[in-house]
């Protein structure tokens, strides 16, 4: 039987192990139920239950900030990024490219994700205020697993032959390599190990 993933807003009254995926400032948690890969959210304030998505395709990797939930969604035959506003009960599609867009994160009005439309994984950004999309990385190697806080985006980057951590400051449009190259003669710093992965 094919397992499906559906996002819910729910009271956490279910059996099986759970992993907290994220939380907003009011203590609203997104929960990943490992046993069947269904995502749930627990609202500590209202203790209410509501189903967010009804499409039979997979919806995975949710993240939340304030009243906005984002996730990757397979309903169009590829992974797209979708969003849902808990205040207006409105769902909308963020990405429309036919390639895969996965691993979304959100901070305030900015959504980031990894995107395969250029033949490799790049980092993209979407501004909810202006409804505008922007490509952040242009290197032909893979850039994956973005995260965002304030006006800083971080990600895992393979452009130097190993996995490093890079950052991008939105306010200045500047990119910076955070971790350095591997030195086999010493391992006194985390920047000297060959792979630095999944920042955030």
For the stretch 19-32, pLDDT in tens is 444 445 455 555 44
Q: Is residue 66 part of a domain?
A: yes
Instruction: Decide if 81 is inside a domain.
Output: yes
CA distances from 123 to 61, 100, 102, 143, 183 (A): 16, 12, 10, 6, 28
Residue 165 CB burial class (10 angstroms; 0-12, 13-18, ≥19): buried
Tokens 């996730």, residue located: 71
* Full residue range of the structural domain in which residue 15 is found: 8-144
Mean pLDDT, the chain, as a whole number?
79
Q: What is the pLDDT of residues 55-66, one digit of tens each?
A: 888 899 999 999
Total domains present in the chain = 1
Threshold 0.85, pTM exceeds: no
- Which residues, 6 or more positions from 172, have their beta carbon under 8 angstroms from its beta carbon? none
The pLDDT of residue 146 is above 90: yes
Whichever domain contains 134, its CATH number is 2.120.10.30
Domain assignment present for 117: yes
* 57 lies in some domain: yes
Nearest to 153 by CA among 162, 163, 143, 161: 143
Higher pLDDT, 178 or 17: 178
């Amino acid at each position: 039987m094919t397992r499906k993933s559906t996002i819910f807003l729910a009271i956490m009254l279910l059996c099986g192990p759970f992993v907290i995926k994220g939380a907003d400032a009011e203590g609203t948690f997104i929960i990943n139920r490992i046993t069947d890969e269904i995502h749930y959210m627990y609202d500590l304030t209202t203790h209410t239950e509501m189903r967010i998505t009804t499409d039979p395709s997979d919806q995975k990797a949710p993240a939340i900030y304030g009243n906005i939930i984002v996730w990757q969604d397979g309903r169009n035959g590829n992974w797209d990024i979708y969003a849902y506003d808990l205040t207006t009960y409105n769902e909308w599609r963020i990405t429309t490219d036919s390639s895969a867009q996965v691993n979304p994160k959100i901070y305030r009005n900015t959504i980031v994700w990894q995107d395969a439309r250029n033949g490799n994984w790049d980092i993209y950004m979407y501004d909810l205020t202006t409804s505008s999309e922007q490509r952040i990385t242009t290197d032909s190697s893979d850039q994956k697993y973005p995260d965002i806080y304030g006006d800083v985006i971080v990600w895992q980057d393979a452009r130097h032959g190993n996995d490093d951590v890079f950052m991008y400051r939105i306010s200045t449009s500047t990119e910076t390599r955070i971790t350095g190259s591997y030195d086999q003669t010493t391992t006194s710093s985390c920047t000297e190990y060959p792979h630095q992965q999944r920042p955030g």
